[in-house]
Structure 1
Amino acid sequence: MNKLPQQLNKLLFAATALFLVGCSNTRFVPEGDYLYTGASITILSDSLPKSKKSALEDLLKESLTPKPNKSFLGLRPQIYIYNKVSEPKKDKGFKHWLKYKVGKKPVYLSDVDIPFNLDLIENTGENNGYFNISASYDTVPKNKKVHINYEVSPRVQYTINEVTFPQDSTILAKEIRKTTDESLLKINDPFSLDVIKNERERIDAKLKENGFYYFDPNNIIVQVDSTEVKHKVNLKVKIKNDTPELAKEQFTIDKIYIFSDYNLRNARNRRNLVRANTDTILWKDNVYILDPKEKFRPQIYDRALYFKSGDLYNRSNHNLTLSRLINLGTFKFVKNQFVLKDSTAQKFDVYYYLTPNDFKSLRLETLGKSNSASYVGGEVNFNWRHRNFLRGAELFTATLYTAIDFQLGGSKEANNIYRVGSRFSLTWPRIIAPFKFQSSSAFVPRTRVQLGYEYQNRTQLYTLHNFNASFGYLWKENALREHDLKLLEVTYVAPEKTTAKYEEEIAKYPPLARVTEKQLIFGPVYSYIFTNTMLPKKHTFYYKGLLDLSANLTGIISGANAEKEAPKTILGVAYSQYIKTEHDFRYYLKLNNTSQLASRFIAGVAYPYGNSVHMPFSKQFFVGGSNSIRAFRARTLGPGSYDPRGEGSSFYHDQAGDVKLEANLEYRANIISFLNAAVFVDAGNVWLFNEETTRPGGQFSKEFLSEIAVGAGFGLRFDFNILILRTDLAMPLRIPYYPKGDRWTFNEIDFSRKTWRRDNLMFNIAIGYPF
């Protein structure tokens, strides 16, 4: 491996030293004080197992206050910025933002209330069953910095010996006893105040499902007795004596009133709205609707209301109804009210006040974009939407757009791309099918029809007409699981013309002909998404699976066999027959509050058969670019060990395959405020199912592992809340089209050489995270 020149080494050393000195914050520490760098907990106990010690240390450390300033590689740049920026004269502006938003006020030893922390440690221990806990501390000063070590003696942790619940004959006590099998209070479990709080909330949630509208967790008290058995506690769950009588009663639903066009500005006594308005009509089953302008068909409420007259009140139906009404997308505000009919009836009248959105809207969008194939460009979209198209909360959208992509740098023979098109979509807030679809999800299932057309002109090469249409369903089981089933998706691609220049390229490289050939693709497409990344967990996952089928049944019935005879056609166009599946799995590990390890693995297979020898170009897999293997330009990698540089044309960026494998690993850390950094490694490639003489080495074989490309790099992410701007600098570490034995490129790395930097350093700019 070539060494960096001596001068460059000196320069890097000097820059590093200057940075380390510059970020030293101890010279700003007031006389007699210390920069607080944090605290540690040492558990003094021979009886506690290692796992319990570790858990207790983490628990106690989390309770300590204040938290020290964040550090990055041992440095604290936020303190340095705070100290170096003088006090701003105003409470706004750049200087104030830099000092107080980017910078952070240093935490000194004088800011730490050690006696208060000792009390916190003991209280936290007692709340977790360590009733005889004690704590002491010691400070460890060094070079104007100080670290505090707290020594804790927890002694014996108390466990639960017995749990009892209310035994009287009231309805409330009976309902509580029905839930005891699900109790969080388990015999021999450690005593925990948090578990007791959760148990109270569990009981309250169960009672809310059984008509106890006015009950509250604070109506429950859990008495603790630690005197009967040594190092054990007896827990007695009781209803407080001062619990209101209403909280002890079950309530049912009587009448339901829906105000479909409620105006918040003209709100008055809501119950009087019913009496004062003669337009209130009985729809069915004690459900009354006030919609004098008949903006909505009542059927939309049939699929949104989970309460029926005579039902016992329960919180799930309460929340599901509100969620469904909101998820219709037609109402701007949704409010409800449960009104007690009288003090003896134990019945509610339910009122829903719905404020519609503006049904019609126009929007003009302008977009700027770039990609790793050196293309930049823009797009203009003109959007029109109607949120209540057929008076049933249907969403109709129409979009007209025009776009241009042109190449900045890269291949000199690249050609600009002009696109003009339209998209139309109509979505019903229900499943339209000959079968009955039941869903208890808070998310409204939908039926969608889409139509689209695009005219594409790649200058000097070809022009294409692209028509597409689909019909299918979208539904969510819950917030974590989502389904998208297109029963039929049709794509028809027709070339308008190809230039003589492109024909010459096809003669030299026949696979290019597939880009402009007539294509007819039709069949079902199904995708499934599971994600819990929105949850505050240490381990979170994302998975998306795709199954795309084209003309499978048609090809089988017609006996299509393109390898032996001419392909079968529909209206004179050969249809594509294939099976395609792709799986995207992501795993996120939260290391601490400021750093994360993110990983992704993608595997895809697209198999042409029957009426097709090759996959349609638009349905093949591609790798490279800002959201893939970042050390390689988009669509320049693969298939297999094929070297696309030998093409000598503008089609360097059109490499595709039928098999895809990709893996990514990225370490992400927050540096200061809006600025995050990342270090990453990407690997993968694409391959062909069938061998092509024009792309030697492209077929998938048992040697596929030796044809994996590897790249690595680092990047910065600028998080502005509404926008994340990402910059990544990557370089190839393994190039699959190099000769066997020479594919690793460590020995070629030479940052001092201009030609190496130009040919190997790949700079990506993108919006959002790569995965």
Structure 2
Amino acid sequence: MKQTNRKYQRTRFARYCILPALVLLSYSCSNTKYLPKNEALLVSSDVKLKGDIAGAEKDNIRNSLNSPSIMLQHPNTKLLNILRLKLWFYNQKHNEKKVGKIWNWLLIPKNMEPPVIYDSTKTIQTANNMTSYLDNQGYFHAFVNYKQSIKSQKAGVTYQVYTGKNFIIDSISYDIGDSAIRKAVIHAATYSFLKKNEPFTMSKLSQEQARLTDVVRNSGYYKFSNDHVQFVLDTINKAIFNNILDPFANIQNSITVSEGSERPKLNITVQILDPTDSTNYQHYWIRNIYVYPDYSAYSTPDDTTFQQSEYKDLTIRRRRDIIRPRVLYNNIVFKKDQEYSQANYDYTIQKLNQLGVWNFVTVEMDTVSHHADSLDAYIFLTPARKQSLGLNLEATSSSDYIVGGALNLTYKNRNTNRAANQVTASIKSGLEWNSDSSNIFFVQAREFSGQVNVSFPRFITPWHLNHIGRFSNPNTSLGLGVNTLDRFGFFSLTSFNGSFGYNWNETQYKRWIVNPLSISFNRLYNVSDSFAKQLEENPFLKNSFSSTFIGGENVSFIYNSQNSLNQKSFNYLQINLEESGLWLNGIDGIIRGVTSDKSSFAKLTSVNFSQYLKMDVEYKHYLNRPHSTLVSRAYAGIGVPYATSDVLPYIKQFTAGGPNSMRAWRLRALGPGSYYNPGLGNPNIFPDQTGDMKLEGNLEYRFDIFSVFGGFLKVKGATFIDAGNIWDLKNDPYKPGSQFKINEFYQDLAIGGGFGIRLDFSYAILRLDLATPFKEPYAYLPDYGWILNTIHPFSREWRKNNLILNFAVGYPF
């Protein structure tokens, strides 16, 4: 019998390990069989970097040297760093001549790559490009060698890069003839990209050139340009850059700095050239400002059909009265008789675009004849559609129901009351379906919600705010809503909510959302006998579901360093702080004082109010590479009831599990702590796994696979691992092991992972994630819950009990 088992195990090993290896070997050989004998497929191109440079700088240089603009040949891309799938598709189309419906879907240009044939001349050019790049980064003594190897029609290249030592900026001086411009430049020198004792790079010169141009243009010099700023670089009084026409060319070879110097030094002189045209350095002032609020592509500025009116500094020319003059005046930053400023010009375009009233915003400056120092401003605004009506049909699936559907009707008015106030009203109705052994398909839950939001493009405050930053985009928001959830067989819950607050940008990357008033009222009714029994058996659960009034304030801070879609890496940080009960407690105190403790807020309203503090922090890091992205996420949250409240309201508690959290567990099925509820799989028992705090970490690697339908649908893959749990802050006798303990919490961490497929339609992403637990937190398990030795992916029973399929719309984070 044992021999039979060993034979079966060997057969299974051959089937699952040896056979795939043979397939990969055959696939690898097929990529070169179509090549002529005198050609070789480029399969590797590596960069070995040596030099006196720090680790972070070394990574940046290596990434730059690997860029297509410098390294002219890269091997064909690989799927999961294993298969050159796009090359294989190319061979199927052009060599195997595959045809048919499925092949036509797959064999489109985005899914194919021709073989990269090794070209030694491009290797030589790449080495020269690398040397030039390092030269521009201040490594004037760098040199590059390369080694190539060709075997069995497969070629590999290794570039050996020796950076040497880069130059350090020793001093910065200015050669500026115009005294007014010199004063402006010296005044703004604090913000210079050129700093003494910092490494020199050519990119710093480019940045400094652009910055100085902005400084001068912001001082009224409308016609000043980058070409007027030049640099002279020298070492030991010998210039290495001294080309007036092009500051980034003609690197002289007469650098007389010893190679043995620890950090060779460089002196920089900033020159602003004398004008060749007497008007180049003319100081300009704004004279007239003409605004066209309903300009069209077929209009001309002097069209006689425009009606002209005056408002303060503005001359408004319009056909229809679509916007209040006050709104225009408040969002046009430059004013009449002010000196020209490039910053005010850019900020005006930004503010008018942010209002959302116009599709296109164009600002033109025109010199005035007979007034050499004057500019007339023309602002052309092409209106957007004022009102829109949208109807969306949503389909979802989750771990606690089979399928869900919702109909969402949204109305939007972008210019209410001609003041650029935006009103958004939405109505949503949805159903969830599930199944069990007794009822094949039944409605599990029904939801209806309505929401109205009004956004004012300014701060509405009792006091006047004098200074608003360039990136502020201030808004005052008012929201009202209602939501009704019917969980058939359990309860009905109706929530009313309202908020008043502000949001603005502190900088380009920092955003604040402050709601000094946030209220909600939750009412539980239609409670079934079975759920009522659950509530009676668990006082904590009963308190969290009790009808309650929530009134407080909340603050959110968001930092997002992403400034372009193709950015290599960026960070996202969000911090939320919420409080409830402080001002309600004050009202309660007034009522008690006036009535001599004969009445209170609860007696007057027949509803208690919640008192708690809640805070959560989320951090995400995105590392983008060609055809792939690595995303890491960390989350921590805690809620603390205080005063008369013993527990957080149910809607404010933390949960874990589901498609956007711990994907190896069902929604609300994980935790708290090491507690395990054996009745979670029973549809007659409400899943109540909630907690007062939450810790979670996620790591996900996303990669492209192929495109179909002419690139309309992009199929992408992902592998991921999740870790985390929720806990209670107080001991709950009904949930043993749920309390957070600092010396034991790591044992309560759940860990799971899996892989997923994402269907990217550009306007929406459909996601399927398949996950399984690696470590369960339950106290009864040995080895601290690690269950890796129980994983049997080829067992039907194991797959049925352990694999969790998550369906969702959009990325999890």
The alignment status of 1:424 with 2:491, answered yes or no, reads no
2:94 to 80, 86, 106: 86
Moved more, 246-255 or 18-27: 18-27
Q: Distance in 2 between matches of 1:651 and 1:303?
A: 58
2:224 to 215, 225, 229: 215
The alignment status of 1:12 with 2:16, answered yes or no, reads yes
Residues 657, 668 of structure 2: 8 Å contact kept: yes
1:565-599, CA deviations, whole angstroms, 9 ceiling, x for partnerless residues? 99944511112221111111223345x44444322
Scaled by the length of structure 1, what TM-score is found? 0.89
Q: Distance in 1 between matches of 2:197 and 2:693?
A: 54
> Residues 534 and 514 of structure 1: is their aligned pair in 2 closer, same or farther, counting only changes over 3 Å?
farther
Q: Secondary structure at the match of 1:346?
A: strand
Measured after TM superposition, the shift of residue 679 of structure 1 is: 2.8
> Residues 397 and 58 of structure 1: is their aligned pair in 2 closer, same or farther, counting only changes over 3 Å?
closer
Residue identity opposite 1:729 in structure 2: L
Q: Distance in 1 between matches of 2:632 and 2:390?
A: 37
Q: Give the match for residue 678 of structure 1.
A: 718
Q: Give the match for residue 76 of structure 1.
A: 84
2:796 to 747, 754, 758: 754
2:283 to 250, 268, 271: 250
1:699 to 732, 739, 745: 739
Q: Distance in 1 between matches of 2:139 and 2:485?
A: 72
1:230 to 241, 256, 262: 256
Q: Secondary structure at the match of 1:498?
A: coil
Q: Distance in 1 between matches of 2:546 and 2:496?
A: 14
Residues 85, 99 of structure 1: 8 Å contact kept: no
> Residues 547 and 143 of structure 1: is their aligned pair in 2 closer, same or farther, counting only changes over 3 Å?
same
Measured after TM superposition, the shift of residue 65 of structure 1 is: 0.5
Measured after TM superposition, the shift of residue 633 of structure 1 is: 0.3
Q: Give the match for residue 148 of structure 1.
A: 157
Residues 462, 516 of structure 1: 8 Å contact kept: no
Q: Give the match for residue 247 of structure 2.
A: none
Residue identity opposite 1:417 in structure 2: A
1:662-706, CA deviations, whole angstroms, 9 ceiling, x for partnerless residues? 122233344556444433221211122333333232233343332
Q: Give the match for residue 290 of structure 1.
A: 317
Residues 580, 610 of structure 2: 8 Å contact kept: yes
Q: Give the match for residue 249 of structure 2.
A: none
1:55-85, CA deviations, whole angstroms, 9 ceiling, x for partnerless residues? 7665545412133222343432211111112
Measured after TM superposition, the shift of residue 463 of structure 1 is: 2.5
Measured after TM superposition, the shift of residue 134 of structure 1 is: 5.5
> Residues 141 and 409 of structure 1: is their aligned pair in 2 closer, same or farther, counting only changes over 3 Å?
farther
Scaled by the length of structure 2, what TM-score is found? 0.84
Q: How does 1:330-729 map to 2 (within 5 A)?
A: 330-342=357-369, 344-407=371-434, 416-437=444-465, 438-507=467-536, 513-514=542-543, 517-534=546-563, 539-555=569-585, 558=588, 568-590=602-624, 592-646=625-679, 648=682, 650-671=684-705, 674-702=714-742, 703-729=744-770
> Residues 521 and 151 of structure 1: is their aligned pair in 2 closer, same or farther, counting only changes over 3 Å?
closer
Residues 555, 611 of structure 1: 8 Å contact kept: no
Q: Distance in 1 between matches of 2:58 and 2:412?
A: 59
Residues 34, 109 of structure 1: 8 Å contact kept: yes
> Residues 327 and 58 of structure 1: is their aligned pair in 2 closer, same or farther, counting only changes over 3 Å?
closer
Q: Distance in 2 between matches of 1:542 and 1:443?
A: 19
Percent of matched pairs sharing the same residue: 28
Gaps of 5+ in 1: none
Q: Secondary structure at the match of 1:747?
A: helix
Q: Give the match for residue 765 of structure 1.
A: 807
> Residues 49 and 315 of structure 1: is their aligned pair in 2 closer, same or farther, counting only changes over 3 Å?
closer
Q: Distance in 1 between matches of 2:485 and 2:48?
A: 68
Residue identity opposite 1:289 in structure 2: I
Q: Distance in 2 between matches of 1:69 and 1:319?
A: 43
> Residues 74 and 501 of structure 1: is their aligned pair in 2 closer, same or farther, counting only changes over 3 Å?
closer
Q: Distance in 2 between matches of 1:442 and 1:306?
A: 13
Moved more, 601-610 or 233-242: 233-242
Moved more, 130-139 or 526-535: 130-139
Residue identity opposite 2:403 in structure 1: V
Q: Give the match for residue 323 of structure 1.
A: 350
Residue identity opposite 2:803 in structure 1: L
> Residues 259 and 570 of structure 1: is their aligned pair in 2 closer, same or farther, counting only changes over 3 Å?
farther
Measured after TM superposition, the shift of residue 479 of structure 1 is: 3.2
Moved more, 110-119 or 654-663: 110-119
Q: Distance in 2 between matches of 1:638 and 1:181?
A: 54
Q: Distance in 1 between matches of 2:563 and 2:756?
A: 24
> Residues 379 and 410 of structure 1: is their aligned pair in 2 closer, same or farther, counting only changes over 3 Å?
farther
Q: How does 1:307-322 map to 2 (within 5 A)?
A: 307-322=334-349
Residue identity opposite 1:65 in structure 2: L
Moved more, 70-79 or 397-406: 70-79
2:115 to 98, 102, 106: 106
> Residues 684 and 151 of structure 1: is their aligned pair in 2 closer, same or farther, counting only changes over 3 Å?
closer
The alignment status of 1:29 with 2:35, answered yes or no, reads yes
Root-mean-square deviation (CA), in Å?
Answer: 3.5
Q: Secondary structure at the match of 2:678?
A: helix
Q: Distance in 2 between matches of 1:254 and 1:622?
A: 61
Q: Distance in 1 between matches of 2:278 and 2:436?
A: 78
Residues 724, 769 of structure 1: 8 Å contact kept: yes
Gaps of 5+ in 2: 234-238, 241-251, 258-264, 593-598, 708-713
Q: Distance in 1 between matches of 2:202 and 2:92?
A: 45
Residues 314, 329 of structure 2: 8 Å contact kept: no
Q: Distance in 1 between matches of 2:146 and 2:462?
A: 72
Measured after TM superposition, the shift of residue 605 of structure 1 is: 1.3
Q: Distance in 1 between matches of 2:308 and 2:162?
A: 70
Q: Give the match for residue 166 of structure 1.
A: 175
